[in-house]
Copies of this chain bind each other. A is one copy, B any other.
Amino acid sequence: MTVSELTASAQDYLKMIWSSTEWAEAPITVGAMAERMAVKPSTVSDGIRRLAKQGLVTHAPYGSIELTPAGRAHAVEMVRRHRLLETFLVQILGYGWDEVHDEAEILEHAVSDTMIQRIDEKLGHPTRDPHGDPIPSGNGLPHPPQGDPLTSVEPERTVTITRISDADPDMLRYFTQLGLGPDTRLQVLAHRPYADVTTIRVGDRDVDLGPSAAEAIWVVAN
Give residues in A with beta carbon < 8 Å to B. Answer: 89, 92-95, 99, 103, 106-107, 109-112, 114-115, 118-119, 122
Contacts and interface: CB of A to CB of B under 8 A. Distances in A.
Nearest to A95: B118
Contact of A93 (B89, B103, B106, B122): B122
> How many copies are assembled?
2
A111 B107 contact: yes
Nearest to A109: B110
A215 B54 CA distance: 46
Contacts of A103: 111-112, 114-115
B106 A107 contact: no
A140 to B, nearest CB: 23
A106 B112 contact: yes
Question: Max chain B CB contacts within 10 Å: which of A95, A114, A119, A122?
Answer: A114
Nearest to A122: B93
A201 B106 CA distance: 47
Nearest to A8: B110
Nearest to A99: B114
A39 to B, nearest CB: 18
A14 B106 CA distance: 22
Contacts of A110: 106-107, 109-110
